[in-house]
Amino acid sequence: MTDYTIGIEDGSTDQGVTPADDHQLRALFQQLCQAWTDGDAAAYGACFTTDCDYVSFDGTRAHGQEQVIESHDTLFRGVLFGSALVGEVESIRYVAHDVAVLHGTASVLVAWRSTLPKRRFTRNTLVAVRGPHGWRFTAIHNGRVRPVQIPGLDSLPAQFARRLVGLAGRLGIGWAAKNPAGHASRMAAPDLT
């Protein structure tokens, strides 16, 4: 359930959002997916503010609605012709009555597949702002979902990393050489008992 009370720095609250905002934001996300599926770059771009920032899964960045439309027109008429964008909103958090952070998941389903490929599954972080024409996305960052297990402190990779930093510091190379004091307190092997 969404908490519609927004904390303000002085401790007071702002009741400026309602369940209708959730509905509008989820509808905007589905509008985004439908525009992609329709291959309509202009409709896709209309989901964004004119000054938006768009970071793709590969780290490339488009700035502004026109760049988003242009790049997606190329995709929709080229390598992603006939594809569908399938996704859903996972969460909505209001940081102000007219600003929301959404997390969603999505995957591109190319025309020759009948099921979504796991390797193309992405998680999206979107920032939406409410303006004169309703909610629009002003920023999006897509990241492929490929969880990596972080090795434990006593693992061979962790031990190797600590030794390598120590060696780099002693040899006077890399970042470790520029900040030897910063690593000294962390160089001791952690107490794992």
- Tens digit of each residue's pLDDT (9 = 90 or more) over 62-96: 999 999 999 999 999 999 999 999 999 999 999 99
- CA separation for the pair 16, 1 (Å, rounded): 17
- Evaluate whether 54 touches 140 at the Cβ level (below 8 Å): yes
Predicted pLDDT of residue 13: 46
Predicted pLDDT of residue 134: 96
Residue extents of the structural domains in the chain: 6-144, 156-187
Backbone angles phi, psi at 100, to 5 degrees: -135, 145
Average per-residue pLDDT in the chain?
87
Tokens of 106: 């999505």
CATH class of 6-144: alpha beta
Q: What is the DSSP string of 87-150?
A: EEEEEEEEEETTEEEEEEEEEEE-TT-SS--GGG-EEEEEEEEEETTEEEEEEEEEEE----PP
pTM (global) more than 0.85:
no
Residue 190 has pLDDT above 70, yes or no: no
Per-residue pLDDT tens digits for 6-59: 544 444 445 688 999 999 999 999 999 999 999 999 999 999 999 999 999 889
Per-residue pLDDT tens digits for 137-162: 999 999 888 777 888 999 998 889 88
Per-residue pLDDT tens digits for 163-189: 888 888 888 888 877 776 655 555 555
84 CB neighbour count, 10 Å cutoff? 19
- Cα dihedral sign for 51, 56, 62, 67? negative
